[in-house]
Amino acid sequence: MRVEDDDPDPKAPESFGRQPRIAVVYLDGDIVDGRSQKIPLLGTRLAGSYTLRDTLEQVKNDDSVKGVVFRIESPGGSSLASDVIWREAELLSKVKPVVVSMGSVAASGGYYSAAFGAPIYANASTVTGSIGIFYGKADVSPLLGKLGIKVVTKKTAPHADAESLYRPFTDEERVELGKKIAQFYAVFLDRVARGRGWTIEKVDSVGRGKVWTGTKAKEVGLVDFVGGFDEALAAVRLKAGLPPDSAISELPSEKGGLLDLVLDMFGVAENVPSVAALPKALAPYADALAPFMVYGPDQPLALYEGFGLP
């Protein structure tokens, strides 16, 4: 007869404190200035520059984070917000191993945010590139004219109402607008050139709004590897000297806005109608109005329209 203890005392852990881990930072949605949020009625997710900046700084200063996968699923958006994210990602990459993983789309501002010098992984079918800037506004004056509505404007300077929706740009304003676009495009080219170690001329040769699949982007040098999230995660674990089963943490944490809170209180947060649920006759108008809910008429955009706002 043999007697055994079927409830042995647990062993004390070999170490205390937070274990070494990999942080996965998500840039998910249209890039905007400010905080990340969702627009439930449009089914739109917005990636805020303040939120991404704070998150990247957080993992940079967290000693338990030994490496970072920067996962990008974005068609771009505000060029200024993209630059803020690019800068913070560059600072992070000087301190810890970082690998970029592109999802189905990481174009325009999404590529801008990725081009800070870290290795870039893209799927074969990832839509990327779209290095360019556009700028414009809607002009509703013809519609108002048909409706018999007259707009009277009082202004303090000849071009004070240049961004107004109630008149077109003048020829002089179009010239100035072109200069402004060229300035922002030059900054975009500079950021990519610094990150990829290229000349401005080389970046421009694959820029000017050209769009590439992941496979083609690898051929022209815009990405380093054709591979998915698993490959990017394995690469950063190797760079950080961590085992294949090391822990990961996902950031930033999901926090809904006021509308999300109200909808959740009434139990409808998971079933919010989106543009797709609207009658067909109304859907095009919702599509057209969506950008005006997010971007101001005076905001230069690095946004690939094929995957932009609904």
Catalytic residue numbers, as ranges? 108
CA angle 14, 15, 21 (to 5 degrees): 120
CA distance 189 to 185: 6
CB of 63 closer than 8 Å to CB of 108: no
For residue 90, the SS3 value is helix
What is the rounded CA–CA span in Å between residue 256 and residue 5? 50
| Residue appearing with tokens 């995660």 | 233
Other beta carbons less than 10 A from residue 29's beta carbon: 21
> Tokens standing for 82?
């993209």
The stretches of the chain forming alpha helices (DSSP H) are 49-61, 79-93, 109-114, 141-147, 171-196, 200-206, 214-220, 229-240, 258-265, 283-294
Distances (CA, A) of 102 to 127, 228, 233: 9, 8, 12
